[in-house]
């Protein structure tokens, strides 16, 4: 399936049978981030964590999982 990164709008092709594709189809995750952005977010999250201004980035995603 084709997915679009919500951050940089890159279109990626991911395997239909990979866990991420299954999650997207099941609406467990509503957004796709390419590995590059994923990595960048991860680094920023760690940086924020260290500076004490940490906001839990994945909070929305977690809540969605519980709601569905
Ligand atoms: Zn991206």
Dihedral Cα 15, 43, 5, 66, nearest 10 deg: 80
> What is the CA(19)–ligand 1 centre distance, in A?
18
Within 10 A of 19 (CB to CB), how many other CB atoms are there? 10
> What is the CA(20)–ligand 1 centre distance, in A?
15
> What is the CA(67)–ligand 1 centre distance, in A?
26
* Cβ-contact 13, 1 below 8 angstroms: yes
Predicted confidence at residue 10, as pLDDT, reads 95
Q: For 22-41, what is each residue's pLDDT tens digit?
A: 999 998 888 899 999 999 99
Mean pLDDT, contiguous 10-residue spans, the chain (68 residues): 94 93 88 93 87 61 60
């Amino acid at each position: 399936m084709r997915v679009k990164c919500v951050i940089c709008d890159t279109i990626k092709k991911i395997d239909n049978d990979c866990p991420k594709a299954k999650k997207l189809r099941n609406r467990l995750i509503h957004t796709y981030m390419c590995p590059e952005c994923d990595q960048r977010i991860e680094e920023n999250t760690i940086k924020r964590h260290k500076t004490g201004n940490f906001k839990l980035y994945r909070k929305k995603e977690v809540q969605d999982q519980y709601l569905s």
